[in-house]
Amino acid sequence: MNKVIALLLTMTLVIGVFAGCQSEKPTDTNSNDTKVEEKETTKEDPKEETKEEEAITLRYMWWGGDSRHEATIEAVKKYEELNPNINIKPEYMGYSGYYEKLVTQLAGGTAADVMQVNVPWLIDIMRGGDLLVDLHNQDVVDLQHYDNTFLSEFCEYDGQLVGVPNGLNAMCMIANKSFFEELGVEYDRKWTWDELLTVGEQIHKENTDKYLLNQEINQMFQFVVKAYIYQLTGNELILDDKSLGFTEEDLIKTFDYVQQLYAKGVIQPANETILYVANENPTWIDGNIGLQVEWPATLYRYMYDNTDLDIISLPVQEDGQTEAVVMKATMLTSVNNNSEHKNEALEFLNWLMNDQESIQILKDVRGVPASSNAQQLLVESDMLNPLMVKAIDNGLANPFTSESGFTNSSDVKTIFNEAIELLAYNETTPEEAAKEVILRLNEYLN
């Protein structure tokens, strides 16, 4: 019970952070409501033939957009066809609200048997106990086609392998080619952060409707601040010994850069971007924004309205310690450790990740597959978006070390987001914000 209370408290603390998280292209205006596929209670002939087998129902929960929903439901139906005694009940929704629903269900003992989990949530989820199956202690899910280093670096919590990575992600910039062609600006090159500032300011001066960079304010920490500090210092934010990987001077320089992005019109004002998720921002849809820092797994959301896109690498620091690219698992698929049908859930997970039919149905709806076998199959079948492959190749050429659990914790994200919001609205200085953030981080870590 103590673990349950602890997890509920954790959820309460971080719920505000996730309230503004971006959602994927919704199925309809109620996309954040979980969709539950209802099935007929009777089966046709195949089930009659295997009536001696126990009929089992598994719940499978994930978040995503239309293309992910459609492909996953098709895979579920194929699995049921191959396993007539298994009924899979799909439960799916948009990104917004998924975290809160997941941790509430885990705490209450009502979570799905198989579920999609975001890696940064592990530190919050696993504080409640061993709620996810440790895949090191099972022999059902075949992991031979997954890179062992990637599994240990990106998918473990306290030595436990708590999920199978659905895909690889490498931070990149999505470029609107038409925007740059109209302005006569070369985009497909190695940008520096300073060039981004200079060129962006000039573009906005010449046409105040246009902005070089599109970034939701609650994504500034993930895609700009962390990347900037990593390159500046060569360290992640919170080191393994819980010390800070940056100095106050580093943080002042980073926050000064953020404030200049807004002050010089490189980024659309925060009071405008806060109204939309990035791919639904009318200014982006109208073609008046050139770049978006993102994970390539989200590319399909931007291609919904504009197919004239390209992928380029993140800007770099001229005097930084590294140009390495931040990588992570797009998400994990995990099995509920309290499932009544744990073995059947593991068998379903193994089929989802390793079976050729499943791989060809799911394609890249969860990013470039992490399994080398799946990658090879999709490339040979011409089923992998080449822009996503380009982003992953850029990352794998120079990957940054994995981020620790504390760097990914929702508490750290909240501390930074609150400072960034004050900077964006010019309600604090970089010096004041840096002092406040370091004070709060040390209080949290100690």
HEC readout, the chain: CHHHHHHHHHHHHHHHHHCCCCCCCCCCCCCCCCEECCCCCCCCHHHHHCCCCCCEEEEEEEECCHHHHHHHHHHHHHHHHHCCCEEEEEEEECCCCHHHHHHHHHHHCCCCCEEEECHHHHHHHHHHCCCECCHHHCCCCCCCCCCHHHHHHHCEECCEECCEECEEEECEEEEEHHHHHHHCCCCCCCCEHHHHHHHHHHHHHHCCCCEEEECCHHHHHHHHHHHHHHHHHCCCCECCCCCECCCHHHHHHHHHHHHHHHHCCCECCHHHHCCCCHHHCHHHHCCCEEEEEECHHHHHHHCCCCCCEEEECCCECCCCCCCCECEEECCEEEEECCCCCHHHHHHHHHHHHHCHHHHHHHCCECEEECCHHHHHHHHHCCCCCHHHHHHHHHHHCCECCCCCCCCCCHHHHHHHHHHHHHHHCCCCCHHHHHHHHHHHHHHHHC
- pLDDT tens string, the chain, 446 residues long: the values are 444 444 444 444 444 333 333 333 333 333 456 676 655 444 445 545 445 678 999 999 999 988 899 999 999 999 999 999 999 999 999 988 999 999 999 999 999 999 999 988 888 888 889 999 999 999 999 999 998 877 887 788 889 999 999 988 888 999 999 999 999 999 999 999 999 999 999 999 999 999 999 888 888 998 899 989 999 999 989 987 889 999 999 999 999 999 999 999 999 999 998 888 888 889 999 999 999 998 887 887 887 666 789 999 989 988 888 888 888 888 999 999 999 999 999 999 999 999 999 999 999 888 889 898 998 899 888 888 888 888 888 887 777 766 666 887 888 999 999 999 999 999 999 999 999 999 999 999 98
Tokens 């390209």 sit on residue: 310
Residue 402 has a pLDDT of 65
Q: pLDDT at position 147, please?
A: 83
**Of 88, 56, 54, whose CA–CA distance to 74 is shortest?**
88
CB within 8 A of 168, min separation 6: which ones? 150, 327, 329, 330, 367, 368, 369, 370, 392, 395, 396
Going by C-alpha positions, the residue among 273, 292, 219, 304 that lies closest to residue 26 is 304
Query: Looking at residue 144, what is its pLDDT?
Result: 95
pLDDT of residue 23: 36
Residue 53: the pLDDT is 76
pLDDT at 241: 86
Residue 121 to residue 190: CA distance in whole angstroms: 32
pLDDT at 18: 36
pLDDT at res. 4: 43
